[in-house]
Amino acid sequence: MEIDIKLSDFNETILPWLGKTSKLMNMFISDVFHKNNIQITKQQWIVLKILSEKSDGIIQNELACITERNKASLTRLINVMEKNNLVARVPSKLDSRKNLIKITHSGEHLFNITKPIMIASIKAIENNISVDEMNIFLKVMSKIQTNLKINQLN
Amino acid sequence: MEIDIKLSDFNETILPWLGKTSKLMNMFISDVFHKNNIQITKQQWIVLKILSEKSDGIIQNELACITERNKASLTRLINVMEKNNLVARVPSKLDSRKNLIKITHSGEHLFNITKPIMIASIKAIENNISVDEMNIFLKVMSKIQTNLKINQLN
DNA sequence: TTAACATAGTTGCATATGCAACTATGTTAA
DNA sequence: TTAACATAGTTGCATATGCAACTATGTTAA
């Protein structure tokens, strides 16, 4: 019985590549914002983007769901963003358990400033990658997510 | 002048896909370990794997470099692992600034237990992905890392 | 020699994150 | 009605992480 059949191939496996690349990407975005004197993280930016498209606000729990984030984690992310005056918690009138998260004017302003920076960053990240490669990349990502969710149920 | 040309396509972009998938993967691995009553994170596991292949130990800074991690971050990762008796800091005799990080017997034991679990997890994650898709996926990842590193210098 | 510089690692301060247990409020079935 | 259950959000405790400033030690050039 040989258990260690394939672990030698670990480095050519999705797991370490995905982790490393994702971390490098976060650092890259963080660096870009830092160089432009913008105090915001990639995670906050994504929330800001979602909220900028929903002027009525989004229930906190729903926002957690959309961003695939634990509700405890979202609570704290919103805490930081609220502290920095990017978003506001508005209690729902229909259900007092719920909070509507809304982007502030200050948040919208910051988001508008970041738009061209983010577009340029995405272009830089996706440089030299063909449309075909991109399509397969997204397809593989989708399959991975499916695999992760299927197995999660067991 | 239209600045917001492409931000509407953000969701079909590498950036959010990579972030989300990576997070889901970390949660998946964390869940697998949890269900097997193994107290270790994906990050710790990778360090354990690297150390298990280097019985002479690795200089702390080098380990940070290999895992593409900030040296401050590595310091704390090693703190946790040392607390849990998975690794040990051994001061270098040649250069007293340096620490050699070595896996402990307890760490080796835990690593051996996790091997089959990790192999099964990787198989689950890579299920339904063809060899061709895998090759392109790795190629794209490699290109992204190159893009990130090139732009980092500016 | 020794001052200037380089390298290794740690610490303060900060964000992001998850699990489990909790509070508060709303809903539903007997 | 009201007890049991469901849902929304927060808090305690934990890990992982980065930047900047720091200490300690080693190296190098005048």
In this structure, is the CB of residue B23 within 7 Å of any atom belonging to strand C? yes
Contact at CB, B25 and A133, closer than 8 angstroms: no
Q: How many CB pairs under 8 A join A and B?
A: 180
CATH entry, A19-118, from 3.40.50.1110, 1.10.645.10, 3.20.20.70, 1.10.10.10: 1.10.10.10
Which bases in strand D are touched by protein, i.e. have an atom under 7 Å from a CB? 7-12, 15-21, 24-27
Res B3: pLDDT: 40
Res B152: pLDDT: 59
CATH class for the domain made up of B14-120? mainly alpha
Instruction: Please give the average per-residue pLDDT across B142-154, as a whole number.
Output: 79
Long-range CB contact pairs, A76-81, < 8 A, 24+: A77/A43, A77/A44, A77/A47, A78/A47, A80/A44, A81/A44, A81/A47, A81/A48, A81/A107
Percent of chain A surpassing pLDDT 70: 94
Provide the mean pLDDT of chain B. Answer: 92
| Helices marked H in B36-130 | 42-52, 60-66, 71-83, 105-125
Residue-wise DSSP of B10-43: GGGSHHHHHHHHHHHHHHHHHHHHHHTT----HH
In this structure, is the CB of residue B71 within 7 Å of any atom belonging to strand C? yes
Question: How far does the CA of A121 sit from the C1' of C6, in Å?
Answer: 33
Distance CA B30, CA B87 (A): 20
Are A138 and B17 in contact, with CB atoms under 8 Å apart? Answer: yes
Number of neighbours of residue A17 by Cβ within 10 angstroms: 19
Contact at CB, B140 and A133, closer than 8 angstroms: yes
pLDDT, tens digit, 9 for 90 and up, residues A35-85:
999 999 999 999 999 999 998 999 999 999 999 999 999 999 999 999 999
Res A8: pLDDT: 77
The span from the first CA to the last CA of chain B, in angstroms, equals: 26
| Predicted confidence (pLDDT) at residue B136 exceeds the cutoff of 90 | yes
